[in-house]
Structure 1
Amino acid sequence: MHAEVLVSLALRQVDKVFHYNVPPSLAGKVQVGSRVLVPFGRRKVEGYVVGFSPAPNPADLKDVAALLDEGPLFTPHQLALARWMAAYYLCPTVKALRAMFWPLLQVKGPKKVRGLWPAACCEVPDPRRAPKSAAVWQVIQARPGLSRKELAEAAGVSPRVVDAMVARGLLRSEERIESRDPCQDLPEKRIKPPVLHGEQIRAVSKIIEALDQKGGRQVFLLHGVTGSGKTEVYLHAISAALARGKQAMMLVPEIALTPQMIDIFRGRFGRQVAVLHSRLSDGERYDEYQRLRTGEAGVVLGARSAIFAPLEQPGLIILDEEHEPSYKQEESPRYHARTVALRLAGYAGAVVVLGSATPSMESYCQAVGGGAYHLLELTRRVGELPLPSVRLVDLRRELQEGNKGMFSRDLREAIARRLSRREQVILFLNRRGYSTLVVCRECGLVLKCPHCDISLTYHVSGRLRCHYCNYSVLAPSLCPGCGSRHVAYLGMGTQKVEQEIRRLFPTARVLRLDSDTVGRRGAHREIIDTFREGEADILIGTQMVAKGLDIPGVTLVGVINADISLYMPDFRASERTFQLLTQVAGRSGRGEQGGEVLIQTYSPDHYAVTCAQNHDYQGFYRREMALRRTLGYPPFTHLARLLVTGRVEKEVQEAADFLAQAVHAAGVPVELLGPAPAPLTRIKDRYRWHLVLKASVQSVLREAATAALDGFSGTGRYRRVQVSVDIAPQSMM
């Protein structure tokens, strides 16, 4: 038997198994899941052992050069999932596989530190004769394992005193493994589960019933209004899974992975919870991964990539806010965590719970249109609290009546009332920065990023910044095109909203939550905790404030401009707008005072806005589905997007034309849109063209895309052009 190795080169040409001899020195050590070094051509490359089988030509085989890790990096479940991802998303298998175990490659191993312990048999220092040694002894008894410096500081003595005690045999020095726990600074508060209401009890009972059944996966869509207690349903279901010896996984969108959620889970399950998200250090992620691999932790709380956590017995997989586009990976492998979760549950016979106040059209259709999902509904808020009243403010009328400011008179008055009653306000604007457009009023030049086809955003630091490639430059005082001094700063971002709020309400305590304010580690928790504890009156933010916040003191939510996402060049624009407005409105009225929402809009008659005003998900679903059916968009068809990028625009256009011809030549029943320039035609100095394929059966899309890619790679003409495939794209930008 010879080792089957996937070489770590993410190329279509080498996306296959290569056989290697296992030399006698590595016999019994190389196993499925091992990372090895193998000769490949004229060099040695990293590879992963995925099986053992007889080779067709054993005489020509080369030996495995080295074993790079002691144990396996991935489980059989993960390998099966990676192979499915490669076939489904048309990505190299090795890329899918690396997405599952990459945290194990970022650091060399566990963190080892040298610490001090009291010797087992020794004379206890006398406090009267040796007060300093006695002080050290008292500290080390209470806190064994401290370093030399830590022990000296805690005892209030010189490090020489500690050294002397080591020399006398009173203390022993040993190396130990120190856990890099991302939650080690959080207080351990065990939380008693609250009493569930009727709808919650029914939902939990249905999930537990599914957990007790043996066989294939079962999928539930938990549709609950904001504040209806979906999180408590998740927690009770997880408790039930753990009680049955199964592991559980809870995924949340990255922006919704708030400290509040971490506190709740740690308070309920303690050290059984492992946290996985992008804000962790490499060492923290490595240690959390190891706790899951060894079974020390049985609950995963994390963002998109946590779907690949190494669970041996996954019994329950939960996706909160399942509609969120952030569950889609926008780089290869371009997977959707929801789709992967469903496949993983199929392998493990697990239960999947998809939760949202505003489910995606695709998921709700699966639940009510005779699909594979079971619908669970929570129609009332916990404690019978009413949903907030929502008022629309027509910005067209405000402008006609002479109000050119960013705040309508109604919103200014509503904020003033809340401040006078010492209640809290959230202001939402889905755009950060100060001014979103810098234009010369003399020649009309718009200042754009030199590397991307996107306008630069002005920040109060005095710099212009590109939010795609992070290019930054000092704002000019003269127009670079004509030298005019008439440079205007138009539009608004969260910084400008903050400045205007401070001008209108100088005594208000104001916080801002966006990507610019949470760059520092721990800043997100700091801002939310400050607001939750009532130490601020107004919180201004982007999508980070739209979900995951449960703050009873908030009685007013103001949406500065509902139209920002409504007219994006994307067929999901109406759906995203409805979801965003509904979610941010749900932050209001979670306490006994009740709540109100004011939505400022230039489109008060659009069904996405009016349905959000009336908390009418079913009404929006009916309108949107009728439109999707007419236009032939998901869930009535399936989509795939071929994105062509390169530094020379003519080459990109020619390559896109070639791909279109290859799709036609494949002779499969797909509808082709394009090729055409992508809405964002250049990012990071690379021009972008795309083709969109539509078909009634998804496998047909993959057949057409594969034929196009094979023809493209076979020509060898477009070496400086890259082509990526996105199956079921969530963004057309």
Structure 2
Amino acid sequence: MPLEVGFPFRAGPTLSYGAPKGVDPKMLMGCRVVVPLGSKKEIGVVVGLDGPKTPGLKPIEKVIDVQPAYLPSILSLARWTADYYISPLGPALRSAVPGEVQSKIFRKIRFLLPADTPVPDKLSRTEKELFFFLSQKGEIELKTLASRFSKAALNRHLLDFERRGWIASFDILETAPGSKKIACVSVNVDFQSPQSITDFRRLVSEFPAKDEKKKLLLLYLLEHSGFRPLAELVKRFAVSRAAILGLAQKGLVKIERKSEAELTVFAEKKELVLSAQQKAAFEALRQTLGGGKFAPFLLFGVTGSGKTEVYFAAIDEVLKQGRQALVLLPEISVASQIIARFRARFGNQVAALHSGLTPGQKAAAWKAIRAGAYPIVVGVRSAVFAPLEKLGLIVVDEEHSASYKQTEAAPYYHARDAALMRAQLEKIPIVLGSATPSVESFYHAQTGKYRLLELTERFSGQKMPRLQIIDLRHEAKPLLAGNLSGTLVSSLKKSLEEGDQAILFLNRRGYSFWVHCSSCGYVFICPRCDAAYTYHKKDFSLRCHLCGKKEKSPSVCPQCLGATLDFRGTGTQRVEEGLAAFKDLGVARMDYDTTRKAGAYHKILSDFAARKYHLLLGTQMVTKGLDFPLVNWVGVLSADAHIYLPDFRSRERTFQLLTQVAGRAGRHTKEGKVLIQTYQPENPILQEVATGDYRQFYENEITERKKHFYPPFSRLVLLVFSSKKEEAAREAATAWAAKLASLSKTLKPLEVLGPAPHFLAKLRNRYRWQVMLKTGQIMKLTPELKKLKEDWQRFHKTDSVFLDILVDPQSLV
């Protein structure tokens, strides 16, 4: 029986191999294996039991997994992802299992002669250098050699050396790292014996006053009956490591090395109290749990309405049934607070999967999930592939977020849509939650494809925040540094004086996003991207926020040599400078520049929660998922930035962004206040935000979408051609547009728009052209596009033109 093997680290087709002797082929489904491929060995995954029949079938050389790394449902989801998003299966398999878990094969070269062997005289200069280098190293990885010697010549020389018996080459299988273990502490008590617990309490109560910190530490460990990291206890109770070691020597605590999966996370023991609307939503969900049917829900709840509590109630029910739950969040900035809430509720039953974990932590978490140690997984985009074998419910929070769309590398999947497909494959319910649903999701709820659940009031009983539009045309000029109007500053000052905390939102980082010479008009442009540099005042640099290029900011214009440089536009650094009057109250800035270091994001939020800062200034990071009891004031410095982008979603994005950030205010004990600065107060989108009328926004938007054949009435496919030569990219786009125009005659309705330069016409030294398709038959179109792409790649292997096909793009700019 030929087995079909896919390759996570290759973009080519699947191949057929024979099963190892004595191994039942059915037991290999989903297992990672080592197979010969040409002159090398590769790691593959058995993805099918009936591969293409191939003469001279080679056998699988090694089976890596005892337990299959890929569940049947994950293999099915990976295939769907590859087919729908027009990607080879390999990248989809790589997405399904984190790189930190993947095994790798690398080749080593071993020198077989004595280290002091003289270099043969008849060798060329390069061969002599290689011979001497190998004799000194003894054994070395091939990739290290390739970094020092020309690749073409290196392979030829190594083959010659191997024929002469001077060296041997061999492959090494490198498995994923094991979970890191750290020193952890627990009280030395028999928790099954009430008498033992009583005796321990009495002993601790007799501690002298000078040992109060040790006493609190021991009572904490006694109450929570589990192991906690020693470093955490040192920080929490301000005791030294030596003091804790002293407690261990007295037999009061025990210290052992534990992995993160072995630690105890303490769950709340509070009863979940639901409002009438939350109960109704939960009851609708409960009726589908365990029913063995696909059931999609849209939970549409205003900000602060308690959608998370509905998730909790549903997950409680899933756990009672002995099944598992998957919760997806759009990005790490939203994840931290929500993961903390899930762990507070469910304790040790929650695993997190996100980019903030170290490689060891991510590998350990994935392995523990696969072993069934965690019934709840909370994670970002790639967690849609989490290896949960008894999945009973999927939750996609903030389902409208564009962050669910993979944009860095193929396959360019949308995690929300992949979650819907997984729920369909697993025959389970799925809940899409949002205060500002995507137009497509709300349309599906209106037409009966999804069941609509609504939460129209805040859980705390608080009113929605009062919203004030500030017309910057009528504000005193000039505005204060940082584009702060007098009205906004006086309102902010009053709120802070009343003891509130506040959030200021501006979706531009840096100091100034446009630098030009006021004498000759010269504009500082990134040569790699043809986009304006952003000025960063902290290190006096010009940076491109697209490719990362950085250079020192000049003091004179390079064109006219005049010292008349003008820094236009406002970024978060300039606003921070303009908030100097509030410095004594504490101002924290949260953007990409301040959160690059590991743990920086969490530190800013924890310090803000602890009231070390009263004012949080940030980019999109501060617009969603944050819940602070004392935040009763929110300011938006520029509402106009996104409205007129050449993208059919720009109105939707603006409405969602402004509504979400406004929803951070007044969620607990006090009515919130939101101020939005704009030069266009009469704009319909801003009026809809001001009234909080999502349905009015939706009705206006869906009318325009239908009129112009945009989603949900069509599906979009964006083909992006890039090359270092602009003419090559343009010619490829033109040729494809002609092919697709002929295809439109048989696949109606199909509109072909373009070719045209991309909105970002040059990115990272590559010119970009595009062709956009609008189709009413996406399932018929994608196979045709896949065939066209395969043919094009087969006949253009040496071309310098790259082609990316983006199905359901979330942005056209």
Q: How high is the TM-score relative to the length of structure 1?
A: 0.88
8 Å contact kept, 1:228–1:380: yes
Alignment of 1:297-336 (within 5 A): 297-330=374-407, 331-336=409-414
The equivalent residue for 1:688 is 768
Corresponding residue for residue 526 of structure 1: 603
1:64 is aligned, of 38, 46, 60, to 60
- The answer to whether the 8 A contact 1:662-1:707 is kept is no
Query: Counterpart in 2 of 1:120?
Result: none
* Aligned with residue 108 of structure 1, among 176, 179, 182: 176
Report the CA distance shift for 1:297/1:420 in structure 2 as closer, same or farther (over 3 A). Answer: same
Amino acid at match of 1:6: G
Please point out which of 672, 676, 695 is paired with 1:595. Answer: 672
> Gapped runs of 5+ residues in structure 1?
118-138
Higher alpha-carbon deviation: 658-667 or 722-731: 658-667
Distance 1:600 1:616, change over 3 A: same
Amino acid of the residue matched to residue 274 of structure 1?
Answer: A
Q: Is the 8 A contact 1:191 1:264 kept in 2?
A: no
Alignment pair present for 1:15 and 2:13: yes
Distance 1:359 1:37, change over 3 A: same
Cα distance change, pair 115–583 in 1 and its aligned pair in 2 (3 A) = closer
Partner residue in 2 for 1:476: 554
% identity of equivalent residues: 40
1:715 paired to 2:783: no
- Sort the Cα spacing of 1:679 and 1:289 in 2 relative to 1 into closer, same or farther, 3 A: same
CA RMSD after TM alignment: 3.2
Change in Cα spacing, 1:193 to 1:86, as seen in structure 2 (3 Å) is: same
Shift of the alpha carbon at 1:115?
Answer: 8.8
CA distance in 2, matches of 1:671, 1:344: 30
Q: 1:296 and 1:693, CA in 2 relative to 1: closer, same or farther beyond 3 A?
A: same
Matched, 1:433 2:429: no
Q: Residues 30 and 67 of structure 1 are in contact (CA less than 8 Å); yes or no, is this contact kept in structure 2?
A: no
In structure 2, relative to structure 1, the CA distance for the partners of 1:521 and 1:660 (3 Å cut) is same
- The residue aligned with 2:441 is 363
* Structure 2 partner of 1:5: 5
2:47 and 2:25 map into 1 onto residues whose CA distance is 15
**Structure-2 separation of matches of 1:520 and 1:57:** 51
Among 499, 504, 520, the residue aligned to 1:422: 499
**Residues 113 and 178 in structure 1, CA contact (< 8 A), matched pair in contact too:** yes
| More displaced stretch, 657-666 vs 421-430 | 657-666
The Cα offsets for residues 432-457 of structure 1, whole Å up to 9 and x where unpaired, read as 11111111212222212222222111
How far, CA to CA, are the matches of 1:561 and 1:343 in structure 2? 38
Q: Is the partner of 1:104 in helix, strand or coil?
A: coil
Contact 1:663–1:707 (Cα < 8 Å) also in 2: no
In 1, Cα distance between equivalents of 2:184 and 2:738? 71
Go from structure 1 to structure 2 and tell me whether the alpha carbon gap of 1:116 and 1:374 turns closer, same or farther (over 3 Å shift): closer
1:630 paired residue number: 707
- 2:644 matched residue in structure 1: 567
3-state SS in 1 of match to 2:698: helix
The separation in 2 between residues aligned to 1:199 and 1:105, in whole angstroms, is 45
**Aligned partners of 2:265 and 2:347 also within 8 Å:** no
Is 1:346 the equivalent of 2:342?
no
Among candidates 72, 95, 99, match of residue 99 of structure 1: 95
Checking the alignment, whether the CA contact within 8 Å between 2:509 and 2:591 is kept in structure 1 is: yes
Q: State the partner residue of 2:634.
A: 557
Correspondence for 1:79: 75
Residue 198 (str. 1) matches residue 276 (str. 2): yes
1:67-95 deviation digits (Å, cap 9, x = unpaired): 34444221111111111111111111111
Structure 1 residues 724 and 433, CA gap change in structure 2 (3 angstroms): same
Q: CA deviation at 1:36?
A: 2.2
Cα deviation, residue 508, structure 1: 2.9
Tell me by how many angstroms 1:257 deviates.
Answer: 2.9
Q: Amino acid of the residue matched to residue 40 of structure 2?
A: R
State the distance in 1 between where 2:520 and 2:772 align.
Answer: 37
User: What residue in structure 2 maps to residue 232 of structure 1?
Assistant: 309
Which letter does structure 2 place at the counterpart of 1:319? V
Gaps of 5+ in 2: 104-174, 186-217, 219-224, 235-239
Q: CA deviation at 1:194?
A: 4.0
Q: 1:722 to 1:518 in 2, by over 3 A?
A: same
Query: Do the aligned partners of 1:110 and 1:177 also contact (CA within 8 Å) in 2?
Result: no
* d(CA) in 2 for partners of 1:457, 1:144: 48
Contact 1:429 1:494 in 2 (8 A): yes
**Deviation of 1:381 (Å):** 0.7
Q: Does the residue aligned with 1:333 lie in a helix, a strand or coil?
A: coil
SS in 1 for 2:617: strand
Residue matched to 2:781: 701
Q: In structure 2, do the counterparts of structure 1 residues 614 and 523 end up closer, same or farther at CA, with 3 Å as the change threshold?
A: same
Cα distance, 1:158–1:388 mapped onto 2, change above 3 Å: closer
Question: CA 1:545–1:527 in 2, change beyond 3 Å: closer, same or farther?
Answer: same
Shift of 1:30: 7.2
The whole-number CA distance in structure 2 between the counterparts of 1:144 and 1:717 is 57
Q: 1:617 aligned to 2:694?
A: yes
Q: 1:591 aligns to what SS in structure 2?
A: coil
1:565-585, Cα deviation, whole Å (9 max, x unpaired): 112221100000000010000
Residue 295 of structure 1 deviates from its aligned partner by 1.1
| Alignment partner, residue 569 of structure 2 | 491
Deviations 1:307-365 (A, max 9, x none): 11000011110011100000111121111111111111111111100010100000000
Question: Within the alignment, does 1:645 sit opposite 2:722 as a pair?
Answer: yes
Report SS of the residue matched to 1:195.
coil
Residue 808 of structure 2: aligned partner: 728
CA deviations over 1:210-241 (Å, ceiling 9, x no partner): 114x2321011010011111111111111111
The one-letter amino acid paired with 1:264 is R
Q: Are positions 1:454 and 2:538 aligned together?
A: no
Q: Secondary structure at the match of 2:49?
A: strand
In the other structure, the counterpart of 2:222 is none
Paired with 2:608 and 2:18, the residues of 1 have a C-alpha distance of: 62
Please give the alpha-carbon distance, in whole angstroms, between the structure 1 residues aligned to 2:440 and 2:487. 37
Judged with a 3 Å threshold, the aligned counterparts in structure 2 of structure 1 residues 654 and 448 are, in CA distance, closer, same or farther, namely same
Match of 1:32 in 2: 29
Q: How far, CA to CA, are the matches of 1:207 and 1:592 in structure 2?
A: 30
Q: Which moved more, 1:465-474 or 1:359-368?
A: 465-474
Distance 1:113 1:197 in 2: 43
Name the CA distance, whole Å, in 2 between partners of 1:430 and 1:416: 22
The answer to whether the Cα contact below 8 Å between 1:644 and 1:656 also exists between their aligned partners in 2 is yes
1:51 partner letter: G
Mapped partners of 2:752, 2:708: distance in 1: 14
Question: Secondary structure of the residue that 1:598 maps to in structure 2?
Answer: strand
Q: Return the alpha-carbon distance in structure 1 between the equivalents of residues 530 and 803 of structure 2.
A: 19
The match for 1:41 among 38, 42, 46 is 38
Q: 1:244 to 1:476 in 2, by over 3 A?
A: same
SS at match of 2:759: strand
Distance in 2 of aligned mates of 1:235 and 1:340: 22
Deviation, structure 1 residue 3 = 2.6
